[in-house]
Structures are given as structure tokens and as C-alpha cells.
Amino acid sequence: MTIRSLQQDLADFAAEREWERFHTAKNLAMALAGETGELLEIFQWLTPEESATVMSDPPKANRVREEMADVFAYLLRMADVLEIDLEQALLEKIAINGRKYPADRARGRADKYTQLGG
Amino acid sequence: MTIRSLQQDLADFAAEREWERFHTAKNLAMALAGETGELLEIFQWLTPEESATVMSDPPKANRVREEMADVFAYLLRMADVLEIDLEQALLEKIAINGRKYPADRARGRADKYTQLGG
Amino acid sequence: MTIRSLQQDLADFAAEREWERFHTAKNLAMALAGETGELLEIFQWLTPEESATVMSDPPKANRVREEMADVFAYLLRMADVLEIDLEQALLEKIAINGRKYPADRARGRADKYTQLGG
Amino acid sequence: MTIRSLQQDLADFAAEREWERFHTAKNLAMALAGETGELLEIFQWLTPEESATVMSDPPKANRVREEMADVFAYLLRMADVLEIDLEQALLEKIAINGRKYPADRARGRADKYTQLGG
């Protein structure tokens, strides 16, 4: 299975339902954010400890899986519509972040790179 | 390149910086939503037509790629921490949605499945 | 009715249910974002024209009102917990934005202030 | 100061810059979500304890105030555009929630009302 084949499945799904006109980049960004909001709702009242064991509660685990699948679906669909290679974009972003957050200065710190000094 | 190898790169990146203690499922859900918010900001004032051609403006195209990479990164990292197989979860969700949204009833409609009748 | 009296109603509501321990600033920020996500879901597939007439469809109008009330509730509750005077904060922000976006340069443009020139 | 007068200030601000055409309900919902995302970013890596004392760090306190003011601004502007009385909507929502979450059953529990039994 590849990112590309998942994107093809999602494109076929939309085409069979004539949903392409809804799937503008702007609308897909909103749908992605809407699904992310549903993911937040699962975690919002949990302590850090409870959030770590969320997958051992089957109904909650199922909700988490489904919401993450929805986020993934809209992210892949949006990348397809915009013709962005997500895997390549991520590798480039990791390289950029490697320069912004050198391991010796960023170690154990959650600060933004602009506050790491240099 | 596979989802798994990207997750390993992200896990290594976090480990080298001792960021694991920040990467709880709850915190990663928030970071995912924060990056999604940045993606929304690029599209919020665009008309549908402008949103369709956003990739032909190089500085904007670059921002879109970077923000989508950030969303992807946190989604992969969260799935790794929760030991969720994202590809499998997505295939299952597509099957569920195929039943919720039969092509003949959902055609050309943006309604939620609860409103499609039957 | 004042912001302060609404905050008191919300504080009483939480206290009667012993929900204060859930209402940390972090958790309330997540809940605020979760409700904002539900608001997005109402608008995500609408054209600009459809979004303008959403209030003339009673079931949709009702959902919009309820989700906006939820966003307002968590925003007020979070401000109360953090002891932030929202009205004062907004007046200050309007003054800051007046300087960042001078009317003669920002007219008819959706650009960020950093791109307005000077 | 009233909600109504703040909305008038925001409407004047937009009118002076000829921003009304950007301020559709759909676009304002996105802007609201974008600002909420920025608020999340401040809290995402904080422990519950750190999030409780965020206002004692002046630069962070300032960011929190500004982001909450931005969220408030877009919420008020959206309510104005849709002609929704936010205060009335909130009072009605509190009454609805009072029925969904009776104090004796909801006490100390973060469950959704559908799981409270009856």
C-alpha cells in the first residue's frame, strides 16, 4: 500500500459520488480542521496519564482510530487536489527543522526555534 | 519510502532532542490542530477560484507545502505514539463510509449520511 | 447582561457539577478549538453564497447559534480562569491592528500587515 | 462597554478598509479557527501545572491575551454578519446544557451527556 494508492481510492470515492466540486483546497482545509477538532474533543478533559492509556479503552480507541483516519483522508485528498507530494514535503520539512532545532541547543526544550539562541 | 520509515525519522528526531516527554497523545493532538489552523489562515480570505490556483504563487505554494508537511508530521507521530496503523485505519474508514454514503443516494450531495434517507 | 454575569453563570454551572478540575486553561483551549471545529463543519461544503444565507434554513441556523454559543462559553470560561478582561483585551487589540493596518494601505487587501509595505 | 458596541467598532474597522467582501460567514469561521489554532500553540507542550501559571510569564501572558482577543473579535464579527445575538444564544445554551447535564448525575464526570445514564 502506498500514499498514492490511498489517494487514488479517495479520488475514486469522491468521483463515484460526484463530490469533486465540493473538494476545493479551501473546503478540504476546513474539513481537515473539522476532523482535527473532533480528535481534540476525545482528549480535551483527559489528564496526561489518561491520554497515554486511551487505546486500552476499546470504544475510545475506536473513536481515536476513526478520527485519525478522517484527518489522514482529508490531508491526502487535499495534497492530491493541490498536486503536492506529501512524503517529499515532509522529508524537506524534517531537514529544515534539523537546521532550526540543532540537537544540542533544543535538547529537552519545547521553545520555538526563535528562542533557542545560537 | 513508507509511512513506517517516515515515522522512524520523526521518532529519531524527537529522541535526539529528548522531546518524547512533550509528545503525549494529548499534546500531539493539540499540535496537529495548531498546524491545521495555520493551513486555514492561508486559505481563509481566498475565493474558491483563488484557492484553486494557490500553487501557482511560489511563496504561497511553499507555505501550503510546509504547513501540510507539519500536519502530516504530527499525524504520523501521534499514530506512532498510539500504535495506530494509519493506512489500515484509513482503509477501514473508506469501507465504513462506502456503506454510510451509497453512491446512488449521496451523488452530488454534501449532506451528512444521517440525512440521506434510505 | 454583561460579560461578567455570563462568566459567573458559567462558573456556577461548572462548580455545581464539580468540573473545575477539568477546566484548566489548556483543556479549555482544546474545548474552544473543538467547538470551533464543529462550526467549520457546518460551513465546509457551502459556496460563499450558501454561507451567506445559512440563517434562513432553520435547522442549520439553530446549529450555527448553538455552536457559536459553545465557542463563546469556552472563550468566556477560559478568560475567567486566566483572569483576562476580554473586552479590555479586544479594545487594545483593535488599537494595535489600527497601527498595523492603516486604512489607506490596507484598503481592499487581505494581505498580512507584514506585506503591506510602508 | 457592550457586546454591541464592540461589534460596531469591528464593523467600522472592516468598513474603513473595505474588508466586508472578505467577511463572509464561511471565511470568518475559518479565521476564528485559525486564531484558535494559535492559542493552542501556546499551550500545546505545557504540563497542566505550567498551563495554570502561564499568566505569570509576561511575554506568554501577552500572547494569550492577544490571541484570545483575536478569537473574540472574529466570533463577534461572525455573529454580527449572521445577525445572531450571542448573549441570548449563550443563555439558551446554558439552559439546554442544564437539562442535558443534571448536577446530580454529571458531578465530577467529564462524560458526554449521552453517557450519563438517567
Q: List pLDDT tens digits, range B71-90.
A: 999 999 999 999 999 999 99
Q: Are residues A95 and A118 in the same domain?
A: yes
Interface of D with B (CB under 8 A): 22, 27, 30-31, 33-38, 40-41, 43-45
Q: Which residues of D touch B37 (CB under 8 A)?
A: 33-38, 40-41
Q: Does pTM top 0.90 for this prediction? A: yes
pLDDT surpasses 70 at D3: yes
Q: Which SS3 state, helix, strand or coil, does residue B34 take?
A: helix
State how far the Cα of C85 lies from the Cα of D69, in Å rounded to an integer.
Answer: 9
The domain total for chain D is 2
| pLDDT at res. B115 | 82
Nearest to D110 among A29, A45, A110 (CB): A45
Mean of pLDDT values over B49-69: 96
Q: Are residues D63 and D93 in the same domain?
A: no
From B19's Cα to the closest Cα of chain D, the distance in A is 10
Q: Are residues B79 and B95 in the same domain?
A: no
Confidence of residue B117 (pLDDT cuts 50, 70, 90): confident
| pLDDT at res. D54 | 96
Q: Are residues D95 and D38 in the same domain?
A: no
Residues D17-50 have pLDDT tens digits of 999 999 999 999 999 999 999 999 999 999 988 9
Q: Which SS3 state, helix, strand or coil, does residue B57 take?
A: coil
H or E stretch covering D111: none
Q: Are residues C24 and C78 in the same domain?
A: yes
Nearest to B27 among D34, D36, D45 (CB): D45
| pLDDT at res. B114 | 83
Amino acid at D89: A
| pLDDT at res. D118 | 56
State how far the Cα of D73 lies from the Cα of D76, in Å rounded to an integer.
Answer: 5
State how far the Cα of A70 lies from the Cα of C47, in Å rounded to an integer.
Answer: 22
Chains touching C, CB cut-off 8 Å, 3+ pairs = A, B, D
Q: Is the Cα dihedral C93, C95, C99, C103 positive or negative?
A: positive
From C38's Cα to the closest Cα of chain A, the distance in A is 6
Q: Are residues B49 and B34 in the same domain?
A: yes
Confidence of residue C118 (pLDDT cuts 50, 70, 90): low
User: Domain range spanning residue C43?
Assistant: 3-84
Amino acid at A98: G
| pLDDT at res. A114 | 83
pLDDT surpasses 80 at B1: no
Nearest to D30 among A30, A45, A47 (CB): A30
The ipTM estimated for the assembled molecules is 0.96
